[in-house]
Amino acid sequence: MNILDDLKWRGAINQETDHDGMYELVGKKSVGLYVGIDPTGDSMHIGHLIPFMILKRFQLAGHHPVILIGGGTGSIGDPSGKKSERVLQTMDQVRHNVKGLTRQAEKLFGQDGKFEIVNNYDWLSQLSLLDFLRDYGKLFNVNTMLNKEIVASRLEVGISFTEFTYQILQGVDFLHLYRHNDVQVQLGGADQWGNITSGIDLIHKVEGQDAKAYGMTIPLMLKADGTKFGKTAGGAVWLDSEKTSPYEFYQFWINQDDKDVVRYLKYFTFLSREEIDDLAKKVETQPEKREAQRRLAEEVTKFVHGQDAVDQAEHISKALFSGDVSQLTTAEIEQGFKKMPSVEVSSEPLNIVQWLVDVTKFEPSRRQAREDINNGAIRINGEKVQDVDFEIDPSKKFDGKFVIVRRGKKHYFLARIK
Q: Which residues are catalytic?
A: 40, 45, 48, 82, 86, 170, 191, 228, 231-232
Residue (of 390, 397, 396) closest to 376 by Cα position: 390
With contact defined as beta carbons under 8 Å apart, do 337 and 329 qualify? no
| DSSP of 100-140 | HHHHHHHHHHTTSS--EEEETHHHHTT--HHHIIIIIGGGS
**Bridge-partner residues for 196, per DSSP?**
none
Give me the amino acid identity at 182: D
With contact defined as beta carbons under 8 Å apart, do 69 and 106 qualify? no
Cα distances (angstroms) measured from residue 185 to each of 28, 112, 211: 14, 20, 12
Give me the amino acid identity at 358: D
Residues 392 and 294: their CA atoms lie apart, in Å, by: 37
With contact defined as beta carbons under 8 Å apart, do 171 and 198 qualify? yes
Give me the amino acid identity at 105: A
CA-angle at 183, arms to 152 and 39, nearest 5°: 55
Which residues of 58-104 form beta strands (DSSP E)?
64-69
